[in-house]
C-alpha cells in the first residue's frame, strides 16, 4: 500500500533517478545536483543578508504619546533643534508670527476678562459702577468683584488695535477656529467655573498645512500687501502698544482678578507676557528657547524624519510621529502602533491639581495614569521600547514652593514631604508599578525627569534616549 502510494506520487517519479542509469550517468547527476545546491545556498545567504540590511536600514519608528499639552510638540522641536540644525535655522524666522500671536492672544484674553468684570453680573447701580472714575481700582469683599478704574478703561481702548493684529496673524498663519474641539487655549487650572472669555477655543493648523511657507490671505487675494510689509506693520503696532501691554499685565488689580478666578497664565503653553518689551521690539528675532516655548496646536499627526550624522545613531534615520493627545484624537494612535520601535510617553506631573479641559470631572494626573496603563498593557506594543518623561518638573517645583499641597489632590501621597524630590520619586514609583503589573512581557522601566522647555537639559536627555532606543532596535533586528 505504501509502495504504491510512492510510485503514484508524480513528484517522487520526477525526482527518482532514471531506471537504466549507468554509474557514469549517476556521477554526473550527483555533481550537477551538488552544484545546484551550492547556488541555492548562496542565493539563500544573499537573501538573508539583504533582509538583515533592510532591518538595519529601516527607519526607527518613534511615537510621542501623552495627553494634550503634555509637551509632545515641544519634545519634537527639541529633536529638530538637536539633530536638524540647518533645517531649524531655516525655519526659525517663520515662528516669529506664532510667538507674536501667543503674546497678543494672552493680552486679549486679559482684556476679555476685564470686559466681563465691567459688564458681567447684575447691572451696577449709579452709585456702584464697575468702572470707577477714580484713578485707583479697588476690590469689594462683599460682591467678590474687582471695581476697575478709568485707567483700565483707557488701557482697554489703547490696546484695541491688538484685535486686528490677532486676526491678521491668524490669517497669515492659516489657522482655523477649533469649533469642533473641546480644548481651550488658556484654561484656568483648578478653576471651578469658566466664563465666556475662558471658554475660547484654541485655534489650530492641520498637519497637512505648510503654514511656515504659506502665502497670507491678503497676498492670495490680490497681493496688495507683501509679507514683509505685513511683518513691519505688525511689529510697529506691537512696539507702539508695548508699554500699555506691560502696564496691564503688571497691574496689581489685574493680577488680583486672575488670582481670584484661579487663572495661572504663567503655567500655560505659549506664555510670553514676561517678555513683552523684547518680543514687541521692531528688531525682534526669535531665540531657540522662544521657538521651543511657542504654542501652535496642530490637528492630526505630525511626521518628522531625522537623519543622524553624529553620536551612537550616526547613519540611521528616525521617523518621529507626534499624534494628538486630546481624548477625541486618541483613537488615531492605534494604526501607528504597528511596527513601532519606541514610544516616548510624556506625563506632565505638575498638573496633579488640574482637570481635563475636555472633561472637568477627570484629574489630569489620573488621566496620564490611565493612558500609561493602556499603552503598557497593549499586546501590540509588547516588544516596543517605552521611555517615560515625567515632564514639567519646573512647574511642579514652582507650585510646591507656592504652597500647593499634593496630598490635597492626591490622597495616597500621605504625609510625605511636599518637595520636588519626594514628589518626583512618588510619581515615578506609581508609573513603575503600573508598568510592572500590566506589561505583557517584562521590560525595563526607563524614566527621565524633564522640563522640555529647557533646551540644554533636554538635549542631554535625548542623547541618552537615542542610545537606548537604537540599542533596542538593533537587538530586535538580531544584529547585536
Q: List the binding residues for Mg(2+).
A: 298
Q: List the binding residues.
A: 298, 391-394
Q: List the binding residues for GTP.
A: 391-394
String of b and e for 78-116 (b: at least 16 CB within 10 Å)?
A: bbbbbbbeeebeeebeebbbbbbbbbbbbbbbbbebbeb
Give the CB-side neighbour count of residue 322, counting CA atoms within 13 A. Answer: 23
String of b and e for 25-46 (b: at least 16 CB within 10 Å)?
A: eeeeeeeeeeeeeeeeeeeeee
pLDDT confidence tier of residue 43, bands split at 50, 70 and 90 = confident
Q: How far is CA 476 from the centre of its chain?
A: 27
Summarize pLDDT for 294-323 with one digit per residue, the tens: 998 877 788 889 888 777 777 788 999 988
Summarize pLDDT for 73-100 with one digit per residue, the tens: 999 999 999 998 888 998 888 899 999 9
Mean pLDDT across the chain: 81
For the cut 70, the answer to whether the pLDDT of residue 57 exceeds it is no
- Cα–Cα dist 131/117, whole Å: 9
Give the CB-side neighbour count of residue 152, counting CA atoms within 13 A. Answer: 29
pLDDT confidence tier of residue 7, bands split at 50, 70 and 90 = low
Give the residue with greater pLDDT, 194 vs 204: 204
Summarize pLDDT for 119-130 with one digit per residue, the tens: 764 333 333 334
| 238-257 mean pLDDT | 94
Q: How far is CA 373 from the centre of its chain?
A: 19
For the cut 70, the answer to whether the pLDDT of residue 241 exceeds it is yes
pLDDT for 182 equals: 33
Summarize pLDDT for 355-377 with one digit per residue, the tens: 888 788 999 999 999 999 999 99
For the cut 90, the answer to whether the pLDDT of residue 337 exceeds it is no
Domains of the chain by range and CATH?
57-83+298-477 (3.40.50.300), 93-118+148-186+203-293 (1.10.400)
pLDDT confidence tier of residue 227, bands split at 50, 70 and 90 = confident
pLDDT for 311 equals: 72
pLDDT confidence tier of residue 56, bands split at 50, 70 and 90 = low
Write the CB contacts of 401 (distance below 8 Å, at least 6 apart in sequence).
none
pLDDT confidence tier of residue 183, bands split at 50, 70 and 90 = very low
In three-state form (DSSP H/G/I as H, E/B as E, the rest C), the secondary structure along 213-246 is HCCCHHHHHCCCCCHHHHHHHHHHHHHHHHHHHH
For the cut 70, the answer to whether the pLDDT of residue 15 exceeds it is no
Tell me the three cell numbers of residue 276.
513683552
Give the residue with greater pLDDT, 472 vs 145: 472
- Cα–Cα dist 345/323, whole Å: 11
- Cα–Cα dist 286/270, whole Å: 13
To the nearest whole percent, how much of the chain has pLDDT over 70?
77
For the cut 80, the answer to whether the pLDDT of residue 192 exceeds it is no
pLDDT for 353 equals: 93
Give the residue with greater pLDDT, 212 vs 230: 230
| 130-148 mean pLDDT | 52
Angle at 197 between CA 244 and CA 238, to 5 degrees: 25
Amino acid at each position: 500500500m505504501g509502495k504504491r502510494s510512492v510510485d503514484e506520487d508524480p513528484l517522487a517519479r520526477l525526482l527518482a533517478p532514471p531506471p537504466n542509469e549507468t554509474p557514469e550517468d549517476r556521477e554526473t547527476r550527483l555533481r550537477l545536483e551538488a552544484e545546484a545546491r551550492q547556488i541555492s545556498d548562496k542565493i539563500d545567504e544573499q537573501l538573508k543578508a539583504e533582509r538583515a540590511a533592510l532591518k538595519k536600514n529601516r527607519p526607527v519608528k518613534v511615537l510621542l504619546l501623552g495627553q494634550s499639552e503634555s509637551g509632545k510638540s515641544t519634545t519634537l522641536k527639541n529633536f529638530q533643534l538637536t539633530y536638524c540644525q540647518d533645517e531649524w535655522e531655516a525655519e526659525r524666522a517663520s515662528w516669529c508670527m506664532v510667538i507674536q500671536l501667543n503674546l497678543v492672544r494672552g493680552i486679549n484674553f486679559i482684556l476679555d476678562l476685564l470686559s466681563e468684570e465691567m459688564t458681567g453680573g447684575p447691572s451696577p447701580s449709579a452709585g456702584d459702577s464697575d468702572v470707577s472714575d477714580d484713578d485707583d481700582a479697588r476690590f469689594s469683599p462683599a460682591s467678590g468683584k474687582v471695581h476697575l478704574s478709568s485707567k483700565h478703561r483707557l488701557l482697554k481702548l489703547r490696546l484695541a488695535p491688538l484685535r486686528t493684529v490677532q486676526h491678521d496673524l491668524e490669517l497669515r498663519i492659516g489657522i482655523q477656529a477649533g469649533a469642533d474641539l473641546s480644548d481651550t487655549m488658556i484654561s484656568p487650572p483648578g478653576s471651578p467655573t469658566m466664563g465666556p472669555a475662558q471658554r475660547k477655543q484654541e485655534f489650530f493648523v492641520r498637519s497637512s498645512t505648510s503654514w511656515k511657507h504659506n502665502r497670507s490671505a491678503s497676498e492670495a487675494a490680490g497681493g496688495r500687501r507683501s509679507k514683509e510689509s505685513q511683518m513691519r506693520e505688525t511689529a510697529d503696532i506691537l512696539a507702539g502698544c508695548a508699554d500699555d501691554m506691560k502696564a496691564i499685565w503688571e497691574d496689581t488689580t489685574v493680577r488680583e482678578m486672575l488670582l481670584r478666578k484661579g487663572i495661572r497664565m504663567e503655567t500655560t503653553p505659549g506664555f510670553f507676557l514676561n517678555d513683552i518689551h523684547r518680543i514687541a521690539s521692531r528688531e525682534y528675532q526669535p531665540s531657540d528657547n522662544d521657538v521651543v516655548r511657542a504654542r501652535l496646536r496642530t490637528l492630526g499627526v505630525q511626521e518628522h524624519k531625522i537623519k543622524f550624522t553624529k553620536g551612537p545613531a550616526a547613519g540611521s534615520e528616525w521617523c518621529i510621529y507626534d499624534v494628538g493627545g486630546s481624548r477625541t484624537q486618541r483613537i488615531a494612535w492605534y494604526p501607528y502602533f504597528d511596527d513601532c520601535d519606541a514610544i516616548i510617553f510624556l506625563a506632565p506631573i505638575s498638573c496633579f491639581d488640574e482637570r481635563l479641559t475636555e472633561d472637568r470631572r477627570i484629574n489630569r494626573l489620573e488621566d496620564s495614569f490611565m493612558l500609561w496603563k493602556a499603552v503598557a498593557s497593549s499586546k501590540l506594543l509588547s516588544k516596543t521600547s517605552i521611555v517615560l518623561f515625567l515632564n514639567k518638573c519646573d512647574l511642579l517645583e514652582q507650585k510646591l514652593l507656592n504652597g500647593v499641597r499634593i496630598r490635597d489632590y492626591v490622597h495616597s501621597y500621605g504625609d510625605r514631604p511636599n518637595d520636588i524630590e519626594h514628589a518626583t520619586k512618588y510619581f515615578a514609583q506609581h508609573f513603575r508599578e503600573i508598568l510592572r503589573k500590566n506589561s505583557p512581557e517584562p521590560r525595563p522601566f526607563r524614566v527621565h525627569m524633564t522640563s522640555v522647555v529647557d533646551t540644554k537639559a533636554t538635549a542631554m536627555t535625548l542623547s541618552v534616549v537615542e542610545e537606548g532606543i537604537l540599542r533596542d532596535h538593533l537587538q530586535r533586528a538580531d544584529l547585536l
